[in-house]
Amino acid sequence: MGELLNLLFGWKEVLVTTDEQKYYQIKDVLRANHIKSQTSIVDNQLNDRNRGTFLVANSQRMYYIYVKKENYEEAVHLMNS
């Protein structure tokens, strides 16, 4: 989700991580507390154009979680408890 869409539709980024376990843990905490969230997973693969191959070993996923602005403070509190 782009920053402009977040502003327009009232979503605020609450987590960015490369840790898949932390991503799912926070998603579960938000769900258990009835906080609606949107998520995005971006896979940043390095493309080795000289050989026409992908260097998958250097691939790193970025996990993003967004919550509604009115739920942001509660979400941060739950994440830190």
| This prediction's pTM | 0.76
For residue 15, CA distances in Å to 5, 60, 80 come to: 17, 16, 12
**Euclidean distance between CA atoms 28 and 21, whole angstroms:** 11
pLDDT in tens, 55-80: 555 568 999 999 999 999 999 999 99
Amino acid at residue number 58: N
Confidence of residue 30 (pLDDT cuts 50, 70, 90): very high
Across all residues in the chain, what is the average pLDDT?
84
Q: What is the CATH number of the domain that holds 35?
A: 3.30.70.1370
**Domain coverage including residue 29:** 3-79
pLDDT at 11: 93
Q: Count how many domains the chain has.
A: 1
The answer to whether residues 39 and 64 touch, using CB atoms and an 8 Å cutoff, is: yes
Helix H, strand E, coil C: the string for 5-21 is HHHHHCEEEEEEECCHH
Q: What is the largest CA-CA distance in the chain?
A: 49
